[in-house]
Amino acid sequence: MLSKFLLTTAVIIGAFFVLRQRHIRSENDSAPKAIERDAVENAKAAAKDELSADLRAAAYMFLALMVGLGAALYYFDWQDDHTVLTINLHRDNESGPVSYEVYKYQLENRSFVTIDGRAITVASNERMEIIGLDD
């Protein structure tokens, strides 16, 4: 998940520099021509610059929205992964279950790692009860 976030950030930064370079190049190309234009052409250029500025502002707002949305989704995914679950293992030869606390992302099919770092493998004759999972 972190690699996806870093790749997206790299693409966004690359697009920013490409658009910035195009903008600088277009300003350098239009500077000598602007002196030679008459009043009508200057009005058209001003309208085009306004449109360009509006599109640039919209692009920055879209970029901020996408980065914010990505950060929010990453946070909610992280928060869900760090939900603490209680696992009760019921064994045939014991009267009461053995309880463990586990982060959700540490839970696997027949094994898990507890909060304090113990790796537990569930035997075939044990029954595993998970408390705290939301559907």
In this prediction, residues 96-113 reach a mean pLDDT of: 93
The whole-model pTM stands at 0.55
* 17, 45: one domain: yes
Same domain, 89 and 62: no
Instruction: Report pLDDT digits (tens) over 7-53.
Output: 888 888 888 888 888 877 776 665 555 455 466 666 676 777 777 88
Q: Are residues 62 and 105 in the same domain?
A: no
**Of residues 16 and 88, which shows the higher confidence score?**
88
Range of the domain at 67: 2-81
48 lies in the same domain as 76: yes
Q: Do both 51 and 113 map to the same domain? A: no
Q: Domain tally for the chain?
A: 2
Whether 120 and 113 have beta carbons less than 8 Å apart is answered as yes
72 with 127, same domain? no
Pair 67, 42 in one domain = yes
